[in-house]
Structure 1
């Protein structure tokens, strides 16, 4: 009987994951966040600023590819908050509560779908960079490791955005705050320009920005094949974020739903 219940829960979560993926694919705004945004930013930043910053596009790609990758993952992670908020305020969760499924199933389906959304965003970013001429100096194995590490961190951020989506009064507010958060975290980091070119106050802000650690770790792995201290910081930070926000998000969700 217990095994049957576990099978049903797994089947329900899988169904909700599929439902959330379809919602992303059928919503132009969500497709823009996951697929088109990283492609557009990679092309725009690469061809507009590559010559001014690094001399040419090819020389700029090792700098910008890890930056656009992280930007795309933050944007994709923020989508969980707006989707959850939209479902809460449109009455979808009230309908789901009436179904014979576990109460946590819709939230679990959303967070599981986020992993696939993050993977799609990562592939869109790296594929665009590859087509522009970027080649990882450390080889394909390190690319896989960077993708896994960055997706793990992006998924940990999904729990924060999910919590905000549960608490927010509307999906529009969630989308606005998510966009501002994404822009601040990426533009006030080492994602697009060398830190040495920044004014001293900006250097201080960049040094305290956690995204800078992610990007620096990714660059070292992609270009030199080195698992640095920054990579350990990223991994430990992701674990800590999940340890804090996963129980808090589940608690808030179960009491509000």
Structure 2
């Protein structure tokens, strides 16, 4: 099932291209258009790249929701149910494919950011910790996207349901410091799952203070992963038992 998901991703060139191109365009937009007007206390590209990395995973997860929805409504799931395949394996295959797509897209974004002037100061262990945290976050987000794809009425509605994955980073510390936001919006930015993940990545790569963000990020990712796996598998069993 994982191999099938990866092959589907290779064939769906437009979706794969969009999941890579959109983060690159957003990074270029914020660095070259808005970056000069935004003060973060450091080079803006160093500040914004960790947020772009999480935005990249959001685009990849959104495509996972659409692929799962397509399987649910194209008759593919009915064909798979006639085979000795566990339902968990069907979703796990899509999640594995999502992780592979996100890994490729993230690597491209990192290379592009280096070409644009991103200069991380983290060592080997910092990079390994960053990769581990991003993989955990991608797993959690991909399982959540798979659950949304199961209950979506169509591929288009799956795209709509997964919109918050793309929108939530804009309300975090990804692009501007939370203290520059209005007083009513600042708590939303500071107390959501994406902000501590971004701040942890930022701390590992460019040396900003980490504080408790590392533990908070791990707690959010592990909690979201557990919730998403249980939700996706439960919804899948319910939908396929009808």
Q: Please, what TM-score do these two structures have when normalized by structure 1?
A: 0.85
Q: Does residue 230 of structure 2 align to residue 247 of structure 1?
A: yes
Matched residue, 1:224: 207
Task: For residue 118 of structure 2, give the secondary structure of its aligned residue in structure 1.
Answer: coil
Question: Which one of the candidate residues 110, 135, 146 is aligned to 2:130?
Answer: 146
Task: For residue 25 of structure 1, give the secondary structure of its aligned residue in structure 2.
Answer: helix
Whether the 8 Å CA contact 2:148–2:162 is kept in 1: the answer is no
Unaligned runs of 5+ residues in structure 1 are: 1-15
Matched residue, 1:174: 158
Change (3 A) 1:45 1:25: farther
In the alignment, the residues of structure 1 paired with residue 24 and residue 141 of structure 2 have an alpha-carbon distance, to the nearest angstrom, of 22
In the alignment, the residues of structure 1 paired with residue 77 and residue 210 of structure 2 have an alpha-carbon distance, to the nearest angstrom, of 43
Question: Which one of the candidate residues 171, 174, 188 is aligned to 2:171?
Answer: 188
Cα distance, 1:67 vs. partner?
A: 0.7
Q: Which moved more, 1:223-232 or 1:191-200?
A: 223-232
Cα distance, 1:26 vs. partner?
A: 1.8
Q: Which moved more, 1:195-204 or 1:230-239?
A: 195-204
Matched residue, 2:4: 19
Whether the 8 Å CA contact 2:126–2:205 is kept in 1: the answer is yes
In the alignment, the residues of structure 1 paired with residue 55 and residue 111 of structure 2 have an alpha-carbon distance, to the nearest angstrom, of 15
Matched residue, 1:4: none
In the alignment, the residues of structure 2 paired with residue 29 and residue 207 of structure 1 have an alpha-carbon distance, to the nearest angstrom, of 35
Cα deviations across residues 26-66 of structure 1 (Å, max 9, x unaligned)?
A: 223421343222222222221111222249xx911111100
Q: Which moved more, 1:83-92 or 1:203-212?
A: 203-212
Matched residue, 2:196: 213
In the alignment, the residues of structure 1 paired with residue 229 and residue 7 of structure 2 have an alpha-carbon distance, to the nearest angstrom, of 24
Whether the 8 Å CA contact 1:61–1:134 is kept in 2: the answer is yes
Whether the 8 Å CA contact 2:199–2:210 is kept in 1: the answer is no
Unaligned runs of 5+ residues in structure 2 are: none
Q: Does residue 16 of structure 2 align to residue 31 of structure 1?
A: yes
Question: Which one of the candidate residues 101, 108, 127 is aligned to 2:92?
Answer: 108
Q: Which moved more, 1:70-79 or 1:244-253?
A: 244-253
Measured on the aligned residues, the alpha-carbon RMSD in Å equals 2.1
Change (3 A) 1:139 1:148: same
In the alignment, the residues of structure 2 paired with residue 103 and residue 186 of structure 1 have an alpha-carbon distance, to the nearest angstrom, of 31
Q: Please, what TM-score do these two structures have when normalized by structure 2?
A: 0.90
Cα deviations across residues 89-116 of structure 1 (Å, max 9, x unaligned)?
A: 0111112222343343322211121221
Matched residue, 1:48: 33
Matched residue, 1:121: 105
Whether the 8 Å CA contact 1:42–1:65 is kept in 2: the answer is yes
- Name the larger-Rg structure: 1
Change (3 A) 1:48 1:108: same
